[in-house]
A and B are shown apart, each in its own frame.
Chain A
Amino acid sequence: MKVLLSWMREFAPIEGEPAFLAEQMTDLGMVVEEVVATGRTWDGIVVAEVLDLRPHPEADRIQLVDVDAGDGEALQICCGAFNMAVGDLVPLATIGTTMPGGLEIARRKLRGEWSNGMLCSSTELELGDDADGILILDAGLTVGLPLADALGATADTLFDLDIEGNRPDALSVAGVTRDLAARLGVPFTLPSPKFAESEPSTAATGSVEIAAPELCARFGLRVLRNVTVGESPAWMATRLVAAGMRPINSVVDISNYVMLELGQPNHTYDLGLVPGGELGVRMAGEGERLVTLDDVERDLMPADGLIVDGADTPIGLAGVMGGASTEISESTTDVLLEAAVWDRMTIARTSRRLNLRSEASTRFERGVDPMGIERALDRFAELAAEICGATVATGSVVVDGGLAPPTTVEVRTERINLILNTELAAGEMAALLDPIGFTSTPTPDGLSVSVPSWRLDASIEEDIAEEVGRHHGYSRSGKRVPTPTQAGGLTPAQAGRRRLRQALLGAGYSEAMPMPFLAPDDLARAGLVRADSGAEADGASISLTNPLVADESVLRTSLLPGLLKAVVRNQSHRNGAVRLYELGSVFHPSDDDLPDEFELVAGIGSGHGPGGATAGDSAAEAAVVQVNRLAAELGLAGLTVANAEVPGLHPTRAGEVRFRGKVLGTVGEVDPRVLEVYGVADRASWFELRVAPILAALESVPTQKPVSLYPSSDIDLAFTTPDAVPATDVARTIKKAGDGLIQWVRLFDVFRSAQLGDGRRSLAYQLRLQALDRTLTDDEVAAVRQRCIDAVEQAHGASLRG
């Protein structure tokens, strides 16, 4: 909302530096985004008299004009317009002038003739949009007078305000002024429009019937006769331009002016085109159509509000746009003026559906003062009489539709003081509320506050608290920090999440944050669902109803596609070896109220070198090392890895991570085919684990186990086993056979050879034997050794290597 200070001063004696006023408005919640020193000072532009007109010897489209700029001398100007006559007064931009549009006026030659300045059109002065001719000024002005003085324009200040959605009353010059005047403690008055009226009356000429009260709160009419449609006076054009609106013609401009001044949108019909001056208000029917002012034929819906004529023919889309059939034209003489208040939701829906957002629809959507209609009609009449020479018909017609009763809020002084941390007496609160239109009467414990019709946002005690707080000043509530009696802190799970992140950083993984959306074919491309089944078709994922782009229309079920894309991005910039992790949520379909949403942590590594996937090992081995590292760092005792087929991973280099009897996640090397599809050049290591079971494990506190003080014995055992036997299973068998005497089992050597034969390999383990309560005898050690050998040979088809 752009508001000129001079305009505000018509309603209140606002004084003070613009910066101070801006601060006050911001503090009231009408945030001033910009303060512009404006006002058409038109420096360098003066009133000049046309002395002579003659053709340019070399050009048809330019004539030579001699003007007197006030010194009595004839000054030659080349001019492209031909609408002036000798003796006319015209605006002359003298040499050195900067035009409002930025053009600098210099002395220059046009086809061999000197031009010593420029004669200005109303467009060039930003006074109107008549670009064809030079602006002819009123006769009788003093030649040489600065144009600003001649037109009564003065320096001004423009405030650009950001008005919040709950303050439609501040979408008008008067509304903003009311708030500011109250803060400054100066009186605010809305002058009563003054104009003569004549018969026949509006009531005798026009009427309205509201068939849809849910659509229309109130509807007002006025009739104006003998209207001359012309150009608006400069003062009005200046204000409209400052407010960001283009002057069009006097009738349209007055309509806009009244809306900006009072916040009441209004509409004009050519009375001659509305049979009997009869209007009706109803909802649209199925299949109805209307050609709007912009000459577009609109298909209407039953949810749209309509204004119809006496024959029930639609002539306007309520609150959004008028119809073409009753539009004001140059031949219009009599005008039917409408000012109505419409249902906010209806206007919002219709304007959105038709993509017809306007200053009017914005105001209707937020809420217009239903009791401001009469004043808007009268103000229009006053301006039309003054500017368009209109004859104003006596009286107006205002019909109530679904008009809500006035609101009264009972407030407790104590409650408001609690919310605001103030110690205001009821009378002090009333003194803050009443200047902005509330009417407060004392009650035993506070005030009974009747809400003005333009404050549609105020309906409960807290709303009144906000008004008191706003005008008292939020800053006067003071600052204090409440002290919770609880101890703050992270939950064990939250602290665990940080440990998990820290462990990954320590392992060289940087944190990536890919978008959590996938393209519909991403799951298939990443090998996570079968390529021949669409992600949606088999219910494997959840789609967005209104995605921004098709490539981001599915919620992810795995972190793999996002991290693959991150690797590709890095490879394309030759970033070489990368390790990236993500800890984020995935979403699976579910029959519950919400999808199955849970956190995963995944790491990807690619490229050779210390920062990449491999650092010597294969990508798959590197991934297992990382998982084991995490397990060790976080104390996830009992976490195991075993080969398994995992969608998206290398068919023979992938495995499941198991923890506490459940699958925790997957680990291995990304399927080379998937890498090819995504364009990843190197092998890639991969692990993806569920976060919740890890955090749950981190919540349990380890209890101390006794440490043996007796000597230990180490023995080595090497077996040949079939390749298919997991090495960890052999270790587990050994540990179990030790009857609690084996402290640890370590695999320290693996080898394959022709001698061992195809499909077999040697696994060499070191075992440490130790008892808590005694030194083990040689016999005991030998017995344990034998039990281990027997157990492994029996369980795994293995044989001890001699």
Chain B
Amino acid sequence: MIEQLADHEAAALAAIEAAATMEELQAAKTAVLGKAAPLSEAQRRLGSLPPEDRKDAGRALNAARKVVEARLDARTTELAEAERAAQLVAERLDLTEVPTDVTVGHAHVVTQAWEELEDVFTGMGYRIAEGPQVETDWHNFDALNIPPGHPARDGFDTIYVDHGKPGSTVLRTHTSPVQIRTMLTEEPPIYVVAPGRVFRADTADATHIPVFHQLEGLVIDEGISLADLAGTIEAFTTAYFGPGFSSRLRPNYFPFTEPSAEFDVQRPDGTWLELGGCGIVHPNVLRAGGVDPERWTGFAFGFGIDRLASLKFGIDDLREMYTNDIRFLHQF
């Protein structure tokens, strides 16, 4: 019997070797290890051997089975690898055939700058204040220390709206009325910025557009000074433009601040850029907002978001930003 086992083993190994696919291997497995397989037959005959032979024959049978099983496992792995390799070849895709012109939406450059500025200021502990675009004459001018007839009103090129009494309603010329609205609804200390759309009766050219966007800042707290203003301007310009930028204040005039200043930003190459206006909130403005000027002081600042965006993205003509041409929009 032991001699026969060697033949069975050799035949089984040959059958396994001959299987070229998983299906054939499955059939071979049945043939060499199944119930009808010679090795299984030998197993069954084991009991009929004389006891003294049984031990050796059993050992030999087990060894033969182990060899066949090991070979079967190895062949399974071989065939699986081969089938996977064939499948991978068959599945080849040329990824360069995939269209490259994916359409995604692009945020407007003004919105990008607007949100970036909001992030800078919220990071500094500010909240975002809002107000209407159509404003009362009182919020836009009177409350900001620009009474009727004040020459500063002329400088604003105001667009008036046919609502209520003639001259009582305007398209806000600046975001400053949000200062008043914030003071009237909140108690100091106040730390807010108010980005928003503003309007001027200005004929559009490369540097002026009748509809544009400003960001207003207002801080009211105890002991607020010009130094707090200068430091805040510096902190936000550095945060927005990057390291290497610094800022300065120089005296200027605005009816709603006293002292007033213009703030300039110095680029790393040393050149200066006029950015916006600022100052210590005028006591008349604080009073209009219901804030006691003896207890609280504050500063305010404002600048154009469009201009900041145009500087950042290298846009020479502000009008470009309002063509709504996707060849422009999709660049940013």
Contact = CB atoms under 8 A, between A and B. Distances in A.
B253 A594 contact: no
Tell me which of A507, A517, A577 has the highest count of chain B C-beta atoms within 10 A of its own C-beta.
Answer: A517
Given A419-B226, A555-B134, A460 B283 contact: yes
A110 interface: no
B105 A508 contact: yes
A345 B259 contact: no
Contact of B162 (A419, A477, A545, A570): A545
Interface string B230-256: 111011000000000000111111000
Contacts of B135: 594
A488 B251 contact: no
A578 B164 CA distance: 40
Nearest to B228: A482
B108 A513 contact: yes
A579 B151 contact: no
Interface stretch (B28-36, B43-51, B74-82, B120-128): B120-128
Contacts of A573: 325, 327
Given A420-B225, A508-B103, A575-B325, A516 B127 contact: no
A512 B326 CA distance: 9
Interface in A484-509: 484-491, 494, 498, 501, 504-509
Interface string B141-176: 000000001011011000111111011010100000
Given A474-B261, A544-B159, A510 B106 contact: yes
A442 interface: no
A268 to B, nearest CB: 28
Nearest to B330: A510
Interface in A507-551: 507-517, 542-548
B151 A348 contact: yes
A484 B231 contact: no
A505 B162 contact: no
Contact of A344 (B151, B155, B171, B259): B151
A736 interface: no
Contacts, number: 250
Contacts of B314: none
A462 B326 contact: no
B126 A484 contact: yes
Tell me which of B102, B133, B154, B219 has the highest count of chain A C-beta atoms within 10 A of its own C-beta.
Answer: B133
Interface stretch (B10-18, B83-91, B316-324): B316-324
A506 B258 CA distance: 46
B226 A597 contact: no
Interface stretch (A86-94, A259-267, A463-471): A463-471
Given A462-B258, A575-B325, A575-B327, A167 B226 contact: no
Interface string B205-245: 00000110000000101011111101110110000000000
A488 B161 contact: no
B184 interface: no
B191 A593 contact: no
Say which size band chain B's interface belongs to.
35 or more
Contact of B259 (A465, A482, A578, A589): A465
Nearest to A498: B115
B63 interface: no
Contacts of A566: 324
Interface stretch (A25-33, A137-145, A761-769): A25-33
Contacts of A505: 104-107
B155 A165 contact: yes
B273 interface: no
Say which size band chain A's interface belongs to.
35 or more
B203 interface: yes
Tell me which of B136, B162, B297, B325 has the highest count of chain A C-beta atoms within 10 A of its own C-beta.
Answer: B162
Interface in A35-59: none
A276 interface: no
Contacts of B106: 505, 510-511
Contacts of A450: none
A477 B191 contact: no
Given A164-B252, A570-B326, A548 B210 contact: yes
Contacts of B280: 419, 462, 465
Nearest to A165: B253
Contacts of A29: 250-253
Rank and list the top 9 A-B pairs by shortest CB-CB distance, nearest first.
Answer: A29-B251, A611-B103, A466-B259, A505-B105, A421-B227, A164-B253, A566-B324, A545-B160, A479-B231
Interface of A: 26-29, 31, 164-167, 344-345, 348, 352, 365-366, 418-421, 457, 460, 462-463, 465-466, 469-470, 474-475, 477-491, 494, 498, 501, 504-517, 542-548, 555, 565-566, 569-570, 573, 575, 577-581, 585, 587, 589-590, 593-595, 597, 610-611
15 contacts: A462-B258, A466-B251, A480-B228, A482-B219, A484-B126, A484-B191, A486-B191, A513-B110, A542-B134, A545-B159, A545-B167, A548-B201, A548-B202, A566-B324, A590-B163
Interface of B: 102-108, 110-111, 115, 118, 121-128, 132-136, 149, 151-152, 154-155, 159-164, 166-167, 169, 171, 189, 191, 197, 201-203, 210-211, 219, 221, 223-228, 230-232, 234-235, 248-253, 258-262, 280, 282-283, 297, 321-327, 329-330
